[in-house]
Amino acid sequence: MANQDDTFKKVISHAKEYGYVFQSSEIYDGLSAVYDYAQNGAELKKNIRDYWWRAMVQMNENIVGIDAAIFMHPTTWKASGHVDAFNDPLIDNKDSKKRYRADVLVEDFREKISEKIEKDVAKAKKRFGDAFDEAQFRDTNPNVKRRQAQIDDITERLTKVQEDEDLEGFKQLIIDLGIVCPLSGSKNWTDVKQFNLMFGTKLGASAESAMDLYLRPETAQGIFVNFLNVQKTSRLKIPFGIAQTGKAFRNEIVARQFIFRMREFEQMEMQFFIKPGTQAEWYKHWKETRLKWHLSLGMGEENYRFHDHEKLAHYADAAADIEFKFPFGFKELEGIHSRTDFDLSQHESFSGKKLQYFDHEENKSYVPYVLETSIGLDRMFLAVFSKALQEEELENGTTRTVLKLPSVLAPVKAAILPLVKKDGLPEIARTIVEQLKWDFNVTYDEKDAVGRRYRRQDANGTPFCITVDHDTKDDNTVTLRYRDSMAQKRVKIEDLNAIIKKEVDVRHWLEKM
Ligand code: ATP
């Protein structure tokens, strides 16, 4: 099995080679942690966004979507707490001059211990076979117990230094754990400092009158400040939700994981406004619902896990991440946060405007509580793309590279291929393109032998190939080839739209929720 680094490198190079993701301004040697989506990437990203939007907005009578501006009044970020508290602890290694997030260094160290435990468990499972009692092994094996105790101790200390904002304690923790810089291998660390992640900019023509602004670091605040406008104009009753997708900007300290952590990225967020006191039940509901959305894409239940937060943000009374098994291990993909009335109350007090809801059943006004689901579109892209990329051994001893994207998300749904470039076959293929393009994004390809064209479409993630051959002229049928199984069947040209629709339709996938 290829190691994690190799797998990840393959993902990055495949994304470039097949027109999914390019480095931004590559001809100028790129810009760190900024990426461009290419011809296929833009389609995949749009399809993921659409899959989310349909599940959230279209399928829920009580959720509506908005599209707020990236620029917001600067007081927004005072009220939200971002000006004072949107910081990450950073630390530099004096030998490599590399900068790290102190919390990530500790978390990665802890994750390595956890991986050792999983290795021990896997080994024992293999050795004992059916007789293996995993729970008992975890409870009693001395190595596992020692490592688990270490993990618990690290978690406790990490939570404490974060809660106390104890920067000296943070450094001490890194020293005590003997964490070394992955590049220089040295323990020569600077002190830990706080770093604000917001990008500043200016609004206005002249220097004197210009107003200091921030590029929004999250889309959520655009929803909170519009809460009452939306509620009044939609006449929605609590509980109801407001969804939004859009760009967010963070001056991330460390951004070395391709599109996992970017400085400009896109979020898909939904804020659900509820009656105070009902947050526990809605928290549970949205955790379950969001996991189901992920599972509907069929990327394997074993690749997801919940991580309940030990350290809660100042505004939250419960929070969990849905983590996904990326090529570099389990990492956060989505957050589900019970935010209480923090945001709306803060905006009330900073704006002086009431942001309350009149509850007719209770016959009183209150500031609603909020349940948030927040997922990074680019991270979701990476999850889907990295899981889909596979090297398959074939029966004839060769291998093929195949991008098994869920067909609902695939950028191109079908490739239409004339077997040869003559005898009127290209013309028939072109009429099939005309027939299909009203329903799906399709492509035409006549270059190279058909086997090579199949491989190219496999690597591109195209779920169907349609081959026009000489028999087509007689009986109006074509060969339909399935990307994943490579099965081929003969079908009528007139049936193509219906056959493809059945497989790639959002409904077919979302119904699995
Ligand atoms: P992390 O701990 O990884 O920095 P976070 O907890 O700060 O993430 P949130 O503020 O909860 O993230 O943002 C919600 C979602 O937005 C995350 O789950 C992630 O999918 C996405 N996201 C956050 N920061 C980035 C980034 N720099 N690049 C890409 N996606 C991001």
pLDDT digits 0-9 by tens, 388-403: 999 999 888 999 999 9
339, 289 in Cβ contact below 8 A? Answer: no
d(CA 35, CA 43): 15
- Cβ-Cβ contacts under 8 Å for 361 (sequence gap 6 or more): none
Q: How far is the CA of 82 from the centre of ligand 1 (A)?
A: 14
246, 68 in Cβ contact below 8 A? Answer: yes
Write the pLDDT tens digit of every residue in 339-387. Answer: 999 999 999 999 999 999 999 999 999 999 999 999 999 999 999 999 9
| Atom of ligand 1 at shortest range from CA of 267 | 16
Q: Is the CB of 261 under 6 A from ligand 1?
A: yes
Q: Is the pLDDT of residue 1 over 60?
A: no
Q: How far is the CA of 244 from the centre of ligand 1 (A)?
A: 15
The residue to which tokens 């074939």 are assigned: 394
Region of 97 (left: φ > 0; alpha: ψ -120 to 50; beta: rest) is left
The full DSSP string for 214-269 is EB-S-SHHHHHTTHHHHHHHHT--SSEEEEEEEEEE---S---SGGGS-SEEEEEE
Q: Which two tokens stand for residue 383?
A: 């999850």
- Which residue, by CA, sits nearest to atom 9 of ligand 1? 335
Q: How far is the CA of 217 from the centre of ligand 1 (A)?
A: 10
Q: Is the CB of 374 under 6 A from ligand 1?
A: yes
Q: How far is the CA of 267 from the centre of ligand 1 (A)?
A: 8
- Which residue, by CA, sits nearest to atom 24 of ligand 1? 261
Q: How far is the CA of 388 from the centre of ligand 1 (A)?
A: 22
Q: Which two tokens stand for residue 112?
A: 């390595």
51 φ, ψ to 5°? -65, -40
31, 25 in Cβ contact below 8 A? Answer: yes
d(CA 379, CA 262): 9
**Band of residue 333 on the pLDDT scale cut at 50, 70, 90:** very high
d(CA 52, CA 14): 25
Using alpha carbons, select from 391, 370, 410 the residue that is nearest to residue 242. Answer: 370
Q: Is the pLDDT of residue 473 over 90?
A: yes
H helix and E strand count, the chain: 18, 23
pLDDT (0 to 100) of residue 3: 74
Query: Picking from 50-64, 195-209, 319-333, 418-432, which range would have the lowest pLDDT averaged per residue?
Result: 195-209
pLDDT (0 to 100) of residue 277: 95
Mean pLDDT, the chain, integer: 94
Q: Is the pLDDT of residue 53 over 60?
A: yes
- Which residue, by CA, sits nearest to atom 13 of ligand 1? 374
Q: Is the pLDDT of residue 311 over 90?
A: no
pLDDT > 70 fraction of the chain, expressed in percent and rounded: 100
Q: Is the pLDDT of residue 140 over 70?
A: yes
pLDDT (0 to 100) of residue 30: 92
**Band of residue 2 on the pLDDT scale cut at 50, 70, 90:** low
Length of the chain: 513
- Cβ-Cβ contacts under 8 Å for 344 (sequence gap 6 or more): 224, 227, 355, 367, 368, 370
pLDDT (0 to 100) of residue 205: 78
Query: Picking from 233-237, 250-254, 491-495, which range would have the lowest pLDDT averaged per residue?
Result: 250-254
pLDDT (0 to 100) of residue 173: 96
Q: Does the pTM of the predicted model rise above 0.85?
A: yes
